Amino acid sequence: MKTKSFKDLIVWQKAYRLVLEIYKITKDFPKSETYGLAQQMRRAAVSLPSNIAEGYGRRHKTEYKQFLSIAYGSLSESETQYLLSIDLGYTKKSDIIENLLKEVGSMLYRMIYPIR
């Protein structure tokens, strides 16, 4: 199947789902974190599918890889903030989020550094 849109990319679909899951857990954070960790987690998560989409839209291999690298950085940021939210007691571990973090990370890594 030919990819016609960034929405056809499985990595984008999984990153988008991760954003939805992050929004679900952050809605129950303490009110004192509304403009702190909760907002930061949401921004980092939203950056993931956004950069994948923007890179795809650039249609140039070098730019695409650059945006995938930015998405990979946002993924690392999201994972760090997710772990912090658990350690602070704001949320519990989520198998869904942890699996999505791993899957998206693996996919992005393979896209940035393909086997030669």
| Residue 102, domain CATH | 1.20.1440.60
pLDDT digits (tens, 9 = 90+) for 74-98: 999 999 999 999 999 999 999 999 9
Give Cα separations from 36 to 8, 39, 40, 92 (angstroms). 33, 6, 6, 18
Minimal CA–CA distance to 42: which of 55, 58, 29? 29
- Domain membership of residue 42 (yes or no) is yes
- For residue 54, being part of any structural domain is answered with yes
**Domain hosting residue 20, numbered range:** 6-112
Number of domains in the chain: 1
Neighbours of 35 (CB within 10 A): 9
Indicate the pTM of the whole model: 0.93
Q: Is residue 1 part of a domain?
A: no
| 20 within a domain of the structure (yes/no) | yes
- pLDDT tens sequence across 6-51: 999 999 999 999 999 999 999 999 999 989 999 999 999 999 999 9
